[in-house]
Structure 1
Amino acid sequence: MPVFRFAILCLSLALMPEPGHAQTVVKAAQAEEQVMEMPEIVIEGKAESLIGIASSASKGQTSAKELLARPFSRRGELLESIPGFIATQHSGDGKANQYYLRGTNLDHGNDFSIFVDGMQVNLRNHAHGQGYADMNFLIPELVGQLDYWKGTYFAQHGDLSSTGAARFNLVDSLPQGILSTTLGQYRYERTLVADTIQAGAGQLTVALEHQYYDGPWSLPAAATRLNGFVRWHWEDATDKVNVTLMGYRGKWDSTDQVPSRLMGSLLDRYGNIDPTDGGNSQRHSLSFDWVHEGDHTTTKTNLYAGYYDLDLFSNFTYFMDHPVEGDQFEQKDRRWFVGGQVSNDWRWNAWGQEQRVTLGAQMRTDFINGLGLYNTTQRQRWNTVSQNDIIQDTWGLYAEAELKPTKWLRVIPGLRGDVVQFDVTNSNIAGNTGSIVSGILSPKLNVVFGPWAKTEFYLNAGTGFHSNDTRGVVAGIDPATGLASQRATPLVRTYGAEVGIRNESIPKLVNTLSFWTLHSGSELIYEGDTGSSSPGPSSQRFGVELASYWRPNDWTMVDVEATCTRAYLLTQDPSHQNVPNSIPYTLNAGVTLGGAQGFFGSLRVRYMAPRPLDQVLDVYSRESIQVNGRIGYRRKNMEIALDCLNLLNRSDYDVAYYYASQLKTDAAPVNDVHVHPIEPRMVRVSVTWRF
């Protein structure tokens, strides 16, 4: 690692212009001007007014300054700036996070869409779970803003977005170069170098990041990540163009969840059962974004193509199914994907107000080669359970209008249509080969009343959907048992509604309150023994969310976000069963202090209430309380910061699942709560130089 860090430093110095160069003079002048004109950092984003802009109370945004002010251990936790959103981990750091929102265990991304600029991160028909969304390729310092939506009411969002969607908008360019190094306990090392230079008529931004982490585990994680980023940006008075290349490669060894019956007796808190679990992954993409602003129109075009692969080894049941070889399995995913979207806004004046109509089209195709599930022992294959080649095409058209008949009323109707083609070729089970085409229409309606006394009221309703895995849609034979199986519904309808209020009548204080409900025609339920989600019965959820953001001055930000949710499966016997891992209460709160110069700090708390782990049995997880803190000092272009994660050193669990497993010492399978512990208190120190 020291050799790599030295190489990064040499690279950054080589990229810097020599003293006396015009670019150096310009950058120095810009930096000096920035310090002189901005004596304090304005923490924008959540406390900004969305009166007259947002179409629901739960719509929001987070700025780059807010995101980077948060102490976090994994980049997936950037999504926790969304009220009620929880990101945890039940395996190695190279794997996608486990996500929760609005009483839904989202697994690794089903029913919540994540975008980076116009590119959807979620992967359908993924080897490990439908909608798998791995955020490890994202470099936090290159995020300009995070926008988020909740519910089924927005026409631009289609598959896998019933609980909501988030869009990371990356920066067009950097005002200053960045050289940052972080060191922490358990061999945590991270180095980032990034800069923007003039390139022809535009600007070229280049970034390189390296991270290594062993963690507190008895089996060192040896989690290694290498990220690269190149963006060429050009704009004039009417057009803006971005061409972006991103690359990520990671590998890790995993300490998966373990039976709680072993905790504290036969197994160390950070111990493991199968030391050969782990994986490696990579993702590379090229995207093109163009925005054209006319006098009364805005046209947005996005095209992207990429390559992704994952090789993941897991063992959740140990020796239950295979007493000799063990139950480790390999999930292999390798695909090319292409996609894009185009939309056009038309704006005109009528009734003394600006009106808007938007038409848009979206498409995506995934070419998946050798999507495999294999039985393994110490990462060596000994049986092929299933191996498929899949092509999935998705086409979407949507229309939305924003009509303002008066100053105090906005009516936003929308209609979306989607067609999906599922095509699978199974190489070892002929009966699981086939092709199906399915379509669905999704009407939407948002009505906004106000503002009166800086207060708006919202009524939202709409339908959405999620697609099921192509293998389950086409397959008529269970690959694990060889018996006939029921095919899954291709596209599952969801229904959502929300009533909310946004109040900004008190200066520098933003309050939102929303009451919502969501019905799903078929619940995607996580199965701990296979590490995947499968279709289950229909479900009903409803809840309330309260968020407050107070910014009394430019260097202070206080936020409180609380949610309460009830979720149940619509079953017959018994009725109203629990939705496993639906979190009934969450709290996320914090205070951030600091200006452009001098001391700064942040303190945040995240609370997850005990949650049901089984549909029928009265089995619950423990509560989880995470407190993270940061303190630092800035002077001119230098910054040093100290992060303390899990400040209270609590022995909580990141995840908990209830299912049967069998150890070599067990005479029969044992139903138990399987847990992955939260990491202990740890300290990390960062030094950043902006040049």
Structure 2
Amino acid sequence: MNRLHHHSTALFNRRPLSAAIAWVFLSMAGASLAVADTMPEATATPDPSAVTKAKPSAKKAATKGDNSVFELGNMVVTAAPTGKLQSRDILSSVDIMNADKIANQNVLTSFDLLHRMPGVQITQFNQGTTTGKFSFRGFNGEGNINGVKLLIDGIPSNTNDGNMPFIDGLFPLDIESIEVVRGTNDPRYGLHAIGGNANMFTTEGGNYAKARVSYGSFDTHDIQSGLGYETNGFTQNYSVSYRATNGYRDHASSDKNAFSGKWFYTPESEKFKVGLIARWSEADAKEPGYLTSAQAKADPTQSMAHNASDGGTRDVGQLSGHLDVNLAENLFWSTKSYANVFNDQRWVRFSAGESQQERLSNEIQYGATTSLTYRPTIAWLDDFSLETGFDIQEQDNKSRRYRTLTRVRTSQTRDQDYNFYVYGGYLQAMIKPFKWLKLTPGFRADQVGGDLTNKLNNKSYVVNDYGTIWQPKVGAVITPIDGYSLYGNWGRTFQVAVGAGTFKTNPNPVDVAPSINDGWEVGVKLAPVDWLEGRVAYWCQTATNESSRVLNSAGNDSTLIGATERQGVDVQVKVSPVDPVSVWAAFSLQEAIVTQPKNKNPALVGTQIFNTPNYLFSGGIDYQITPDIKSSLWTTGQGSYFTDEANSKGKYGEYALLNFDLGYQVNKMIDVQFQAKNLAGTYWEYVWYNTTVGQTMHSPGDGRAFYGAINVKFDL
């Protein structure tokens, strides 16, 4: 594989502030370990926030209480809850998908697992290593505006532009759960969390050896493996996986491998837990390219001659340190530090009328997050907790582009080095004055900094002075009767431009204000009986000064859209009328419009933001045929969308796909699975409008496909 040279610059040689903060964190960690190890054990009492160890067990999701959580699958309990506030404590639309709905899926990239998640839009580029991404709350997955903060095991995992390539390091067998928080009232995260956040958690703890081998359509084959070993408070978890395919279309072959290791230690006193996580993935792929509408209809599997040398390679890596400490019976401290590496090399030619480009992206990210949670017992309150946190995220980025002819460089169009950092803090309270009322006031503030050097003209630029970005939040849930909860929230998030758009590069520079997003939501969650659960919510989010990345710009620029409004209705339901049968469904109506264009063009007032469908849906029937045989028939889809700013080039992208899963438990250790995807052979596609050549570009999705798999798991 053609591999990029890795950065060799020391992580902290450009930001003394970052180095100082990192040193403080390390010092605090050392001090806390010392305190925890010498804390007198005679005074220790059982604490629900303690770092405890327990054997894994599966149970049905118990989400009937005073929250707004909607859960798919069975939750695996491996330890008691920590003292840190969780996504379940955020009174917004929180959705959790557990391992039993994840591990048996055949997906090219793990973002595709979110097809089952309510209100989530999946954008499928199907172009080599640039496979696609997920989004929600009226934000599309185009890359112009990325409105979702991604975390993997609590570590920030977006690239500078908000994209999500670090998902490449995850295979389904290693994912324990996926948590999605939609809305603006979660104060824990700032950058990229415009419409909410998603956290993917991988397996930790246990004694097991497991593997999955699968083969299917388009010569798709993968091997996934995992190993866990736990003894005397020390846990080790390893995952090694490989996947390759020839692809549905011509010139679409790809292969990817990934490795991860997790090492954690909890002493007998269970007063702290310390650990390290390492993850690395490499991918190599050809790109089939985009087709015109006529070409896609004539033969959706073809690849045109001008795409014959398109493709690329991608490396992603993550290294993180984790420390959780019970400082006292009701005081809990958690901290994480991390370094991420992203190297991407891509050759792409969007149409026959354009030149091929070579795109090089190199990012080194590093940072730390810390939080302190206080859970006192207050006589006149039913429950109370207070959490404060701080995080810093920094990036050293290089972005280069060349015009090429069959991968031979002919000229350079971009050569940028830029440093970007953001730091912020938050305060979150959970106040429960009565058993039937819970309040979650919160607050967050962020600041942004950095500098950019354009090496083509040897000029340097400073970041826009965004000032301190204040973000108040509040949420409430009322549970007058057990099983009936009414919740509401309001919050503010922010957006700043990405790439060179963050900096003052214009000849007469003026500071650009951040985009301020104000959002609110009201909803009701119903669980009147054990076999029925539902949630209905209405939400609205308005933004000022919204920024959109110019995707094919040599200057790595952004442009201002103006004021926007997004709103929608989400409906979700789960029904289990009899023990072997479970029915689930989710439907989201959404609208994203421009309310005040930046250029004051009256023709754009009320136009829909492109590539944002008006509805999303998913649903299915799970049937346990016998104790050893289970089946699932499920569907997912979306409405059509406009592809251009003026909404004048037609609507595309509507689809509904039908899938079928069948599993047979041979014995305690072995099960076999069969999956049919796009069972009806529906034609579906991703479409965007190419302003350079003035036409829509089409990328057909996979046709009917079949997969078989064998899973083996041994308890050690």
- TM-score tier (shorter): 0.7 to 0.9
Name stretches of at least 5 consecutive residues in structure 2 with no aligned partner. Answer: 1-54, 68-87
Q: Identify which of 82, 102, 112 aligns with 1:77.
A: 112
- 2:350 is the alignment partner of 1:316: yes
Bigger CA drift: 177-186 or 270-279? Answer: 270-279
- 2:271 is the alignment partner of 1:235: no
SS in 1 for 2:102: helix
Structure 1 CA distance, aligned partners of 2:191 and 2:209?
38
Q: Identify which of 134, 141, 146 aligns with 1:110.
A: 146
| Alpha-carbon distance change, 649 to 347 in structure 1, aligned in 2, over 3 angstroms | same
Partner of 2:654: 623
Q: Identify which of 183, 207, 214 aligns with 1:182.
A: 214
Bigger CA drift: 600-609 or 435-444? Answer: 435-444
> Percent sequence identity over matched residues?
17
Shift of 1:166: 0.8
| Alpha-carbon distance change, 628 to 460 in structure 1, aligned in 2, over 3 angstroms | same
| Alpha-carbon distance change, 558 to 290 in structure 1, aligned in 2, over 3 angstroms | farther
Shift of 1:131: 3.9
Name stretches of at least 5 consecutive residues in structure 1 with no aligned partner. Answer: 1-36, 320-325, 478-483, 662-668
Structure 2 CA distance, aligned partners of 1:589 and 1:342?
38
Structure 1 CA distance, aligned partners of 2:708 and 2:671?
11
C-alpha contact (below 8 Å) 2:139/2:146 kept by paired residues: no
Partner of 1:501: 524
SS in 1 for 2:502: helix
Q: Identify which of 274, 278, 282 aligns with 2:315.
A: 282
The one-letter code of the counterpart of 2:325 is H
Shift of 1:659: 2.9
SS in 1 for 2:248: coil
Shift of 1:416: 0.4
Shift of 1:600: 1.6
Bigger RCO (CA 8 Å, 6+ sep): 1
Structure 2 CA distance, aligned partners of 1:518 and 1:547?
20
C-alpha contact (below 8 Å) 1:488/1:535 kept by paired residues: no
The one-letter code of the counterpart of 1:123 is T
Partner of 2:669: 637
Listed as ranges, the matches of 1:397-476 within 5 Å are 397-431=425-459, 433-438=461-466, 439-476=468-505
| Alpha-carbon distance change, 392 to 59 in structure 1, aligned in 2, over 3 angstroms | same
Shift of 1:306: 2.6
Structure 1 CA distance, aligned partners of 2:700 and 2:59?
33
Q: Identify which of 289, 299, 313 aligns with 2:333.
A: 299
Structure 2 CA distance, aligned partners of 1:85 and 1:492?
23
C-alpha contact (below 8 Å) 2:137/2:182 kept by paired residues: no
Shift of 1:606: 0.7
Partner of 1:602: 632
After superposition, give the CA deviation of every residue in 1:312-371 in whole Å (9 maximum; x if it has no partner): 22222432xxxxxx4221221112211111111111233241111110011111112x31
Aligned residue pairs, count: 624
SS in 1 for 2:125: coil
- 2:99 is the alignment partner of 1:67: no
Bigger CA drift: 594-603 or 280-289? Answer: 594-603
Shift of 1:178: 0.9
Structure 1 CA distance, aligned partners of 2:470 and 2:653?
41
Structure 1 CA distance, aligned partners of 2:231 and 2:437?
47
Q: Identify which of 383, 406, 411 aligns with 1:383.
A: 411
- 2:224 is the alignment partner of 1:196: no
Shift of 1:552: 4.7
SS in 2 for 1:538: strand
Partner of 1:675: 698
Shift of 1:452: 2.0
Listed as ranges, the matches of 1:111-150 within 5 Å are 111-124=147-160, 129-150=161-182
Shift of 1:175: 4.2
SS in 2 for 1:97: strand
Structure 2 CA distance, aligned partners of 1:264 and 1:77?
25
- 2:568 is the alignment partner of 1:543: yes
- 2:604 is the alignment partner of 1:560: no
Structure 2 CA distance, aligned partners of 1:628 and 1:93?
24
Partner of 2:12: none
C-alpha contact (below 8 Å) 2:687/2:696 kept by paired residues: yes
Shift of 1:229: 0.9
C-alpha contact (below 8 Å) 1:528/1:659 kept by paired residues: no
Structure 2 CA distance, aligned partners of 1:122 and 1:79?
17
Partner of 2:401: 373
C-alpha contact (below 8 Å) 2:124/2:132 kept by paired residues: yes
Partner of 1:481: none
Structure 1 CA distance, aligned partners of 2:291 and 2:508?
30
The one-letter code of the counterpart of 1:49 is K
Structure 2 CA distance, aligned partners of 1:149 and 1:598?
34
Per the normalisation by structure 2, the TM-score is 0.82
Shift of 1:201: 4.7
Shift of 1:222: 2.6
Listed as ranges, the matches of 1:346-357 within 5 Å are 346-350=374-378, 351-357=380-386
Per the normalisation by structure 1, the TM-score is 0.85
SS in 1 for 2:146: coil
| Alpha-carbon distance change, 615 to 437 in structure 1, aligned in 2, over 3 angstroms | closer
Partner of 2:5: none
The one-letter code of the counterpart of 2:117 is I
SS in 1 for 2:529: coil
SS in 1 for 2:683: coil
Structure 2 CA distance, aligned partners of 1:344 and 1:152?
22
Structure 2 CA distance, aligned partners of 1:486 and 1:629?
56
After superposition, give the CA deviation of every residue in 1:90-139 in whole Å (9 maximum; x if it has no partner): 13342252334222213358110111112111111xxxx44444411112
Structure 2 CA distance, aligned partners of 1:422 and 1:433?
9
Partner of 2:191: 159
Shift of 1:395: 0.7
Shift of 1:55: 4.0
Shift of 1:280: 0.6
Bigger CA drift: 605-614 or 436-445? Answer: 436-445
SS in 1 for 2:472: strand
Moved over 6 A (4+): 485-488
Bigger CA drift: 333-342 or 253-262? Answer: 253-262
